[in-house]
Amino acid sequence: MARIFITGSADGLGQLAAQLLLQAGHRVVLHARNGVRAQAAQAAAPGAESVVVGDLSGLEGMRQVADEANRLGRFDAVIHNAGVSYREPRRGNTADGWPVVLAVNSLGPYVLTCLMHRPARLVYLSSGLHLNGDASLHDLTWAERPWNGAQAYADSKLHDVLLAFAVARHWPTVPANAVSPGWVATKMGGAGATDSLEAAPKTQVWLATSPEPAALATGQYLYHQHPRPCLPAAHDPALQDRLLAECARLTGIAFPVGA
């Protein structure tokens, strides 16, 4: 039996992953951005141990989630599932001056990875749209570029792959992998999505709990439990470390390299 923390598990793929894990007898801690959504999360996954509350669109909320999760103890796996859509029509500055897409999709996973007790496994939700991400890592906050929600989302999903690969390299004893769940009909994916919603949460559940050697490999980008080619630049250690440095500059939180 494993103990897993899932960010963004009030609905969508996070909720589906929580339900699968609970059905398999695992222990699950949920996450929601506010109290109302926490109640919805607990109602949808009534066997969960608890719900961590905190808004990942701001640094204060990220710290709050990390602190509350740490008070609950160390986890066997953390699934970084929380995300906001590519359909964001505006830049949507947070209190910290970041676009919401960057804050929730990129900086949130980074800060939690840095501040939470190191788990045995890490899973980062990416997307096939990361292939359209800007590997220059120029102007992450969109202070100079004209806002483009679709590009900002693609960039953030590339950041998730880079983060997973950087963690895999710097923490070789912690399997860290990125997952594309496919284009599925969640609230974020929309009704026109064509991939299997039933299959979408299974890879992250498998990575979080399976004893199979393939699930314990690290530094992979996977779709439906199989490695899939990612943007070639994502394999560049220098680019991975540049992302870590940019995230550290924006948040003031350095990545803890080494044991």
Strands 176-179 and 221-223: parallel
Residue 259, domain member (yes or no) = no
The domain containing residue 55 runs over which residues?
A: 3-251
User: Residue 21 falls within a domain, yes or no?
Assistant: yes
Per this entry, what is the length of the chain?
259
Catalytic residue among 86, 124, 153, 223: 153
Query: Whole-angstrom Cα distance, residue 7 to residue 109?
Result: 9
CATH number assigned to the domain comprising residue 156: 3.40.50.720
User: pLDDT tens digits, residue range 170-210?
Assistant: 999 999 999 999 655 455 655 565 566 678 899 999 999 99
Is 157 a catalytic site residue? yes
What pLDDT is attached to residue 89?
Answer: 55
Q: How many domains does the chain have?
A: 1
> Residue 87's pLDDT is what?
64
Mean pLDDT, the chain, as a whole number?
93
What integer pLDDT is reported at residue 189 of this predicted model?
56
- Give CA–CA dist 179/202, Å, rounded: 10
φ/ψ bin of 258: left (φ > 0), alpha (ψ from -120 to 50), beta (otherwise): left
pLDDT digits (tens, 9 = 90+) for 53-101: 999 999 999 999 999 999 999 999 999 999 998 665 566 788 899 999 9
256 in any annotated domain: no
The position carrying tokens 């999709």 is: 105
153 a catalytic residue: yes
DSSP-derived 3-state class of residue 240:
helix
CB 101 within 8 A of CB 84: yes
Say which residues have a Cβ less than 8 Å from residue 42's Cβ, sequence separation at least 6.
Answer: 30, 48, 51
Asked if residue 258 is part of any domain, the answer here is no
Given a cut of 80, is residue 214 above it in pLDDT?
yes
Identify whether 49 is part of a domain. Answer: yes
Nearest to 149 by CA among 90, 98, 82, 84: 90
Of 4, 8, 54, 11, nearest to 28 by C-alpha is 4
Residue 195's pLDDT is 61
Q: Are strands 121-125 and 176-179 parallel, antiparallel or unpaired?
A: parallel
Tokens 């995230």 belong to which residue?
247
Marked catalytic residue, from 86, 157, 221, 223: 157
Residue 110, domain member (yes or no): yes
Question: Is 101 a domain residue?
Answer: yes
Summarize the confidence of residues 160-173 as an average pLDDT. 98
Residue 50 pLDDT > 90, yes or no?
yes
Q: Please state whether 73 falls in left (phi above 0), alpha (psi between -120 and 50) or beta.
A: left
Q: Say if 235 falls within a structural domain.
A: yes
